[in-house]
Amino acid sequence: EWTPVNIVTDAVEKVREQVGDAKVIAGLSGGVDSATAAMLVHRAVGDNLTCVFVDHGLLRQNEGEQVVEAFRRNSEVPLIHVDARRRFLDRLAGITDPEAKRKIIGEEFIRTFEEEARQIEDARFLVQGTLYSDVIESGTRDAARIKSHHNVGGLPEIMDLDLVEPLRNLFKDEVRVVAAELGLPDRLVWRQPFPGPGLAIRIIGEVTEERLEILRRADHVLQDEIRSAGYYRQLWQSFAVLPAIHSVGVMGDARTYAYPIVIRAVTSDDAMTADWARLPYDLLERISNRIINEVPGVNRVALDITSKPPGTIEWE
């Protein structure tokens, strides 16, 4: 019978069978999947688990600190926090191609993670929060693959680690049920999905500290308004995109020539297909006004009204 308690008991049992007394490493991304996978494994193996959080600097406003704080407050699992912001930015300098960005971030992530993980003696397993939908999307059909998801594959081969994937049979909504059952905080349980390469694939063109700051601020306003209006949970994802164009505007008596921000909000069950969200006009108006008033470097807001297919959810 499918109950949250049964799923947890079952998953914990399976993990125990798989890893025995071996040491296990889990990477935390800040999202619900990796946290739920880690907590399940923690139930199964206790002190044999160490978590690693690599802050690649491509997270949303205050997200890095929130992740670490929430985890330390809610569990006694040892957590290694790696500040790798500089090295990711350095490697992304001058890179504009979407797949090149993904590849660099994936590689750099593996390298950083590996350096830390090597210090955890005789670790034999690596936890990944792979979901059923990830398995389907990234799957075996490499040729048909639309985008390379950076959280699938790579590290285990290099480090000779076996994968533990306790969420492999679950859909996102089931993961949330399990997360709540495990006592994870609401803010994490209901966090919208966020891609591994982070804001880098929502910045069209080059990723720079300055452009990251613009997107972070715009995204923060958007999240704030979406939450206050009570829409956050109904939406699969809602976020801002920073294109690599400028347009002319007027502020006060002065001509401006600045970036637009694109708002993307979608509903979906599993990210395989998605529909653009019909947000109320007054909410859109508030978002637009606030972004233009509060984010220097932005003078226009546009709304993405493309479903998936033909669009993908992310812009890159």
Smallest separation (angstroms) from ligand XMP to the CB of 146: 6
Q: How far apart are CA 158 and CA 200, in angstroms?
A: 25
Q: Is 311 annotated in some ligand binding site? A: no
Smallest separation (angstroms) from ligand XMP to the CB of 197: 5
24 binds ligand XMP (CB under 6 A): no
Minimum CB distance to ligand XMP smaller for 185 or for 193 = 193
Say if residue 240 is exposed, middle or buried (CB neighbours under 10 Å; 0-12, 13-18, 19+): buried
The site map against ligand XMP for 58-97 (x = CB under 6 A) is ----------------------------------------
193 binds ligand XMP (CB under 6 A): yes
- Interface residue with ligand XMP among 151, 223, 288, 299 (CB under 6 A) is 151
Preceding omega of 260 cis (within 30 degrees of 0): no
Report the amino acid identity of residue 20. G
- Interface residue with ligand XMP among 19, 39, 287, 313 (CB under 6 A) is 313
Quick one: tokens of 235?
């939406």
Residues 216/197/232/277 CA torsion (nearest 10 deg): 100
- Interface residue with ligand XMP among 6, 119, 247, 312 (CB under 6 A) is 312
- Interface residue with ligand XMP among 127, 196, 215, 265 (CB under 6 A) is 196
Minimum CB distance to ligand XMP smaller for 212 or for 271 = 271
- Interface residue with ligand XMP among 81, 111, 147, 246 (CB under 6 A) is 147
Q: Is 230 annotated in some ligand binding site? A: no
Report the amino acid identity of residue 249. G
198 binds ligand XMP (CB under 6 A): no
Minimum CB distance to ligand XMP smaller for 147 or for 286 = 147
Instruction: Determine how β-strand 123-127 pairs with β-strand 23-28.
Output: parallel
Q: Is 30 annotated in some ligand binding site? A: yes
150 binds ligand XMP (CB under 6 A): yes
Q: Is 33 annotated in some ligand binding site? A: yes
Task: Give the single-character DSSP code of 74.
Answer: H
Quick one: tokens of 196?
């591994």
Q: How far apart are CA 168 and CA 86, in angstroms?
A: 33
- Do residues 183 and 295 touch, judged by C-beta distance below 8 A? no
Minimum CB distance to ligand XMP smaller for 166 or for 195 = 195
Instruction: Report helix angle 4-19 to 172-181, nearest 10.
Output: 90
- Dump strand ranges (E) for the chain: 23-28, 49-55, 79-83, 123-127, 162-164, 237-241, 247-251, 254-267, 275-276, 298-303
Q: What is the largest CA-CA distance in the chain?
A: 70
- What residue numbers does the annotated binding site cover? 29-35
By CB under 6 A, name the binding residues for ligand XMP: 102, 146-147, 149-151, 193, 195-197, 237, 271, 308, 312-314
